[in-house]
Structure 1
Amino acid sequence: MTISTSDADLIRKRARELGFDVCRFTEVESAWPAGARLAEYVAQGRHGEMGWMADTLERRAHPRAMWDGARSAVVLGMNYGPQHDPLTLLDHPTRGMISVYAQGDDYHELIKGRLKQLASFMAAQHPAELKVFVDTAPLMEKPLAERAGLGWQGKHTNLVSREFGSWLFLGVILTALDLPPDPAGQDHCGQCHACLDACPTKAFPAPYQLDARRCISYLTIELKGPIPTEFRPALGNRIYGCDDCLAVCPWNKFASDAREKRLHARQALKEPRLSDLVQLDDPTFRLLFAKGPVKRIGRDRFIRNVLYAIGNSGDSGATVVVEPLLADPDPTVRGAAVWALSRLHEAAAFEALRAAHLPAETDPGVRAEWTLPDPHIA
């Protein structure tokens, strides 16, 4: 069924009423170079421990590999840009930095409910099969968004919009309808490489390429177990995700002033004290992050991140709340506590802790943390 331009405009109008900032259309039947690029990315091992990328390669190869009946995609964006530069928190090392998108309710749920309402509206107007996607299914939203003209994939591999900078949540509705396609997005990065320069761990081997194994978002969210020692100092006080490459994008200055109503950050998550966060047990962790995306990594991985940040903070007073974690049931937490204390204590005090705890430690990974080179020796 082919939809007229006027009917397509009604879909856009309803999308705006539901709180989406942009709604555009694209066909999904032509060639899909993004699938080959993803296959090469996985073949190079740059996906790290994200095994689901390799497992779902075939379904990501083309939008119609997800659903053969798809003819068009409705691609929607919701601006979540912060009112203030999130990178200013780097100047306050005793406070934890949580990625802007994760400071409020889980955006998957926020977007999914509105997508379903829009899908219901479309089905009522034009009975045809459709499917809704919000980042959790093996559908490549960013290339679809570029093809639909929401923006382009920048040198940091995220979507960039001339209207909303690097701050867009994306959602997709695949439909059996033939919708009038919008012009594809054009790259406007030019000679700018601010996002590449801003990366603390040099996770971009080249423009438009990302090695997730070096990315702080991957390291603090996806990676299980200890974070490699070479990256720990670069984490700074980033305890969940990293906004550096997004926040420095020059196109952010054109983002709409109507951002505040889209995503409400919780006050407790804007500038939390690391010394408070490190004391969370599982029930208090779940309570603090209820309805938010941080809860998905679990208490132990989160405390691991907080401990590395404390180790980078220079706050020797935090040793009082870190030392009890040397007896934590989780070995990754114990190991991170060892690393933090090795950087905060004077050499003699740390040696006394090692003498007290190392003999009873049975986990080889934690024992290795106790025997790392002395950080006090240049």
Structure 2
Amino acid sequence: MPAIDYSRLSSRLQEWARELGFQQLGVAGVDLGADETHLLNWLDAGHHGEMDYMQSHGSKRSRPAELVPGTLRVISVRMDYLPSSARDGWEVLADPDSAYVARYAMGRDYHKLMRNRLQKLADRITGMVGPFGYRAFVDSAPVLERALARDAGLGWIGKHTCLINKDAGSWFFLGELYTDLPLPLDEPAKEHCGTCRRCIDICPTQAITGPYQVDARRCISYLTIELRGSIPLELRRPMGNRIFGCDDCQLICPWNKFSKRSPEADFAVRHDLDDSRLVELFGWSEEEFLKRTEGSAIRRTGHSGWLRNIAVALGNAPWSVEATDALAARRQHPDEMVREHVLWALQEQAGKRPPS
């Protein structure tokens, strides 16, 4: 078999990535020693909450060659996801009767789309160099994707711990192709947050406890998606109308003035989730919930989690007969967790009722 021209392959990778809809591709090595230390300290502090999967794989998350033996390089890609015609995020947050859904979750789930594109990338590599070892990942395995993307030159890890690209902001997904090909390495991205701390200051629940430090147990994304039980009382009011995820730290980031709207049809808003009223979404039956969230990341909450989250938002909304009636209709819901949050919301509504 003739020797592989890795320099030429690297150039082709850039071409193929663009053709497949990725906005950027880079190549990283597998040494993540400093990031492993940061991860272990975070876990030791208990900041992962109930996300036991964060520590269940041992060192495989920070040592790519342990997860996929033979891995020498990681091909990292990013894909913009900001929907092209979504209602402005700040506008939704300022309307307490509307439901705020994280921008990434308003369309179809990104996992399958990106995995399929990564597989096509691997197929093109095979066509050029012959069979090679690889595994594709899109948020589907113990992978330190942001650290790898940083090392691949796709951006730096901001103080809110999201990846930021100076030409594209942070509204993008990441994916990886672990490979045994000794590709030339890209230059790691440099940090450009400077003295800015807007993301830290704006966090509704003070989940960003310091630069590059997030306590997931306080994060609204964790509370509305990962947490399966009761939302702590002291964090309910700060949640406002955020019913699935939270984007405040990205909305406030000055680098997102450079963000690009996604051309992907799959990321377009579905079911008016950028402009829906809380009462309307709270009225979804389980059957409606499953139908409307088919192929969506939102299904991860389950119907009970969906109702729990919206009940909190309704409790935070201004008093109205409509909100109170909607909550009262769920007072006898079979799930104890839902009943508890409905009762809390009814009490909050009652406290805001104007004198008759």
Return the TM-score normalized by structure 1: 0.88
Deviation at 1:68, TM superposition (A): 2.3
1:320 to 319, 325, 331: 325
The whole-number CA distance in structure 2 between the counterparts of 1:150 and 1:222 is 27
In structure 2, list runs of 5 or more residues that go unmatched: none
Q: How does 1:34-73 map to 2 (within 5 A)?
A: 34-73=35-74
Task: Pick which of 246-255 and 75-84 moved more.
Answer: 75-84
Does the alignment pair 1:117 with 2:120? yes
Counting matched residue pairs gives 349
- Give the 5 Å matches for 1:358-373: none
Contact residue 82 and residue 261 of structure 2 kept, 8 A: no
SS in 2 for 1:239: strand
**CA contact 2:319–2:352 (8 Å) conserved in 1:** no
Rate the CA distance shift 1:258–1:335 in 2: closer, same or farther, 3 A.
Answer: closer
- What is the CA–CA distance in structure 2 between the aligned matches of 1:271 and 1:257, rounded to whole Å? 18
Rg (Cα) greater in structure = 1
C-alpha contact 2:32 2:62 (8 A) present in aligned 1: no
Q: Once the two structures are superposed, what CA deviation does each residue of 1:319-375 show, in whole Å capped at 9, x if it has no partner?
A: 1111121110000110111011001125999xxxxxxxxxxxxxxxxxxxxxxxxxx
Shift in alpha-carbon separation, 1:313–1:3, aligned structure 2, 3 A: farther
Which one is further off, 180-189 or 79-88? 79-88
1:190 is the counterpart of 2:191: no
1:224 aligns with 2:228: yes
Structure 2 residue corresponding to 1:22, chosen from 21, 24, 37: 24
Deviation at 1:262, TM superposition (A): 7.0
Letter aligned with residue 70 of structure 2: G
1:89 aligns with 2:61: no
CA distance in 2, matches of 1:65, 1:88: 46
Relative to structure 1, is the Cα distance of residues 267 and 297 closer, same or farther in structure 2, using a 3 angstrom cutoff?
Answer: closer
More relative contact order, 1 or 2 (CA 8 Å, 6+ apart): 2
1:260 to partner: Cα distance: 6.3
Aligned to 1:373: none
Deviations 1:239-285 (A, max 9, x none): 00000001111111112356565721215211111111111221110
- Tell me by how many angstroms 1:163 deviates: 1.4
Structure 1 residue aligned with 2:313, among 293, 309, 316?
Answer: 309
Amino acid at match of 1:214: R
- Separation in 2 of the partners of 1:205 and 1:88? 26
Distance 1:193 1:348, change over 3 A: closer
Q: Distance in 1 between matches of 2:331 and 2:5?
A: 63
State the distance in 2 between where 1:130 and 1:226 align. 41
Q: How far is the alpha carbon of 1:27 from its aligned partner?
A: 2.0
Counterpart of 1:86, as a letter, is G
Distance 1:282 1:258 in 2: 31
Among residues 97, 102, 105, which one is paired with 1:99 in the alignment?
102
Shift of 1:312: 0.4
Aligned to 1:234: 238
CA RMSD of aligned residues (A): 1.9
Q: How does 1:175-186 map to 2 (within 5 A)?
A: 175-186=179-190
1:270 is paired with a residue whose SS is coil
Q: 1:333 aligns with which of 338, 341, 350?
A: 338
Normalising by the residue count of structure 2, what TM-score does the alignment of the two structures yield? 0.94
Name the CA shift for 1:258/1:101 in 2 (closer, same or farther; >3 Å).
closer
Q: Would you say 1:345 and 2:350 are equivalent positions?
A: yes
- Amino acid of the residue matched to residue 52 of structure 1? Y
| Map of 2:295 onto structure 1 | 291
Secondary structure of 1:325's match? coil
What's the offset of the Cα at 1:32? 2.5
Task: Report if the CA contact (8 A) 1:163-1:256 is conserved.
Answer: no
